[in-house]
Amino acid sequence: MLIQSAYLTIGSFFIPISYATAITGNRHLSKGLDLIHKVLSRPLDVGISHLDKCLSLGRMDLENHEGFKDYINSLITVFIGHHHGEDEILFPTFEEKIKGADFSKLKKQHKEIHPIAERIKDKINVSDPSVNNYEDVRNLLQEMKGLWIEHRDEEEGIVELDMEPLISSKEQIELNDKLSKHGQDMSEPANLILPFLIYNLERSDRDTFTDDMPWILKNFVVPIIWKSKWEKMKPFLIA
């Protein structure tokens, strides 16, 4: 128990991971954004396709229901934490730096997505889930995906073309670190969120994402010590 809580502390201290040393060149900000956006994009497709399969069979997947619930709850937690970091840190940094910078469209898109995310959370956490409930979650995920893709593509373009060139490599690393520290507070429980972040990425992206992470955390704590906590999500992750 003592060991478990010590590892929980280690885990929450290092989430989400800083990309600072893993990326070469002057594209720290957009590379960091690209990775976290991939973590947010894949589960929408995985969730929709899982629910489509259940709906086509006309039944729920009771065996994997708890894992699916953890998976979708983790998605919503990371989603809200990521957008909060952008609203509180990323956008204000550039509003201060660039006279007349206008992030109102991106902020408005965040505000449009969040009520849907909250509704998904409400629907997935019901005590008595049903096929109808699965259908509602599926439709909400689809609605969220539409808004998310539009927002993601627009934001990535703005960051890469308009924002990143205006700041030095050092400033980008500092900004990424600030965003990472902010994310730490919003990434609980660590024993679900950290595996969710890592195992929604393909191998090469995962290596970049975990490059700064302590060896013991990525090779021992997450895959071994925490496995019993997150393994229910395994059918939805990239093993």
Closer CB to Fe ion, 65 or 107, in the complex: 107
In the complex, what is the shortest distance from the CB of residue 151 to Fe ion, in angstroms, rounded to a whole number?
6
Closer CB to Fe ion, 187 or 191, in the complex: 187
In the complex, what is the shortest distance from the CB of residue 209 to Fe ion, in angstroms, rounded to a whole number?
15
In the complex, what is the shortest distance from the CB of residue 187 to Fe ion, in angstroms, rounded to a whole number?
15
Q: Is there a contact between 175 and 89 (Cβ–Cβ < 8 Å)?
A: yes
Closer CB to Fe ion, 136 or 155, in the complex: 155
In the complex, what is the shortest distance from the CB of residue 206 to Fe ion, in angstroms, rounded to a whole number?
19
Closer CB to Fe ion, 22 or 78, in the complex: 78
Residues lying near Fe ion in the complex (CB under 5 A): 86, 155
Question: Rounded distance, CA 58 to CA 31, Å?
Answer: 41
